[in-house]
Structure 1
């Protein structure tokens, strides 16, 4: 997927902002698609939330994840779910 960058200079705030936005965009589109294709979107969302919590618990020491990692992931998922426009949700 070709993407436009504000700058081609790695390490600049513009470069990091662009990378961050691309990552967020790709992540929520992937979740939107998975949720919309699920036969039971509400159950799928519940399982996603549980998986975020469980993955954090399993990986916090091994991967060095902080509570901040868990909180950002959880809040981000809540935003994705809150802005998703599915007829059944």
Structure 2
């Protein structure tokens, strides 16, 4: 298969608004389920997002959500994913 059918990048698809909305939806979900511990956790995350997100870049938020890849993951990325990404980039610049 030489044609890329799907490509996902968290860096491209995540926004601060989506993260805030997600926190809010989890507050409602866990409250309905009467899971008050998770409700409190996501309520605090939501409040934090309202206060601090305007002063933070999306890159810093994504960095805090992730972790650095280990050597095995880096090698697997280079072997399997990088050729796909390179194909997408080549297609975009044709």
| TM-score normalized by the length of structure 1 | 0.37
Q: Which has the larger radius of gyration?
A: 2
More contact order relative to length (CA 8 Å, sep ≥ 6): 2
